[in-house]
Amino acid sequence: MKITYFGHSCFQIEVGGKKILFDPFIRPNELAKHIDFGSIKPDYILISHGHEDHIADALDLAKSSGAKVISNWEICMWLSKQGIQNFHPMNTGGKVKLDFGNVKCVEAVHSSSFPDGSYAGNPMGFIVETSEGNFYYAGDTALTYSMKLIGEYRTIRFAFLPIGDNFTMGVDNAIIATDFINCKDIIGMHYDTFGFIKINQQEAIEKFKRAGASLKLMSIGETIEK
């Protein structure tokens, strides 16, 4: 798999010949101003919840790329009212089979509203199952005991976990989450974009290492392979 980081919680994963983009928040992010937005052409856009820092570029990207949007019912209907017709609505606990593999929606403990403050459904995380391995995208969430079900449900090769604290779990809780999901290969997200979620990156990496886990903090625009 090829993973490209576009800042905050926005990643693109190339697997099975398809490009899957998570939580597009690029143009409003000052830290991602060097990203060539027009070159981003995903096949799928997965949206975990309705907050602006996860959905800001979803409408324009869905229009320009023709990507299929995977999200909850409320977000899909919100996009539909703005002209998007290529979508698949889901909710927590559901699974859908797609051409690159399966997407299962799992619990995320957070809030969810659209930029205008209206209700945006329940927040979610995603387990993506592919022939190249499975991964977990947690979305914005607190540490939850239900994460243990993820570790029991599937073998997870790597996971995207929020580590910025304040609005989500922080580094210490994310380390506990690695035990719950039975996965020690972690890519961090939802940190440093705003003042509320600034972290000490080196300290975070060292804490994970002492706990027997690996924390990768990608540079914006960086691509790695897993």
Predicted confidence (pLDDT) per residue in 73-104, tens digit: 999 999 999 999 999 999 999 999 999 999 99
List pLDDT tens digits, range 38-76: 999 999 999 999 999 999 999 999 999 999 999 999 999
pLDDT of residue 89: 98
Give the chain's mean pLDDT. Answer: 97
Assess whether pLDDT exceeds 90 at residue 185.
yes
Under 8 Å between Cβ of 53 and 46: no
Measure the CA dihedral 48/54/59/60, to 10°.
-140
What length is written for the chain?
226
Q: What is the mean pLDDT of residues 108-124?
A: 96
Q: How far apart are CA 68 and CA 62, in angstroms?
A: 7
Sign of the CA dihedral running 85, 86, 91, 96: positive
Q: How far apart are CA 44 and CA 21, in angstroms?
A: 6
For the 2-225 domain, the top CATH level (class) is alpha beta
List pLDDT tens digits, range 131-179: 999 999 999 999 999 999 999 989 999 999 999 999 999 999 999 999 9
120 burial (CB, 10 Å; 0-12 / 13-18 / 19+) is buried
**Could you tell me the residue ranges of all domains in the chain?**
2-225
pLDDT of residue 153: 86
Q: How far apart are CA 116 and CA 127, in angstroms?
A: 29
Q: What is the mean pLDDT of residues 171-196?
A: 98
Work out whether strand 68-72 and strand 87-90 pair parallel, antiparallel, or are unpaired. Answer: parallel
Q: What is the mean pLDDT of residues 10-33?
A: 98
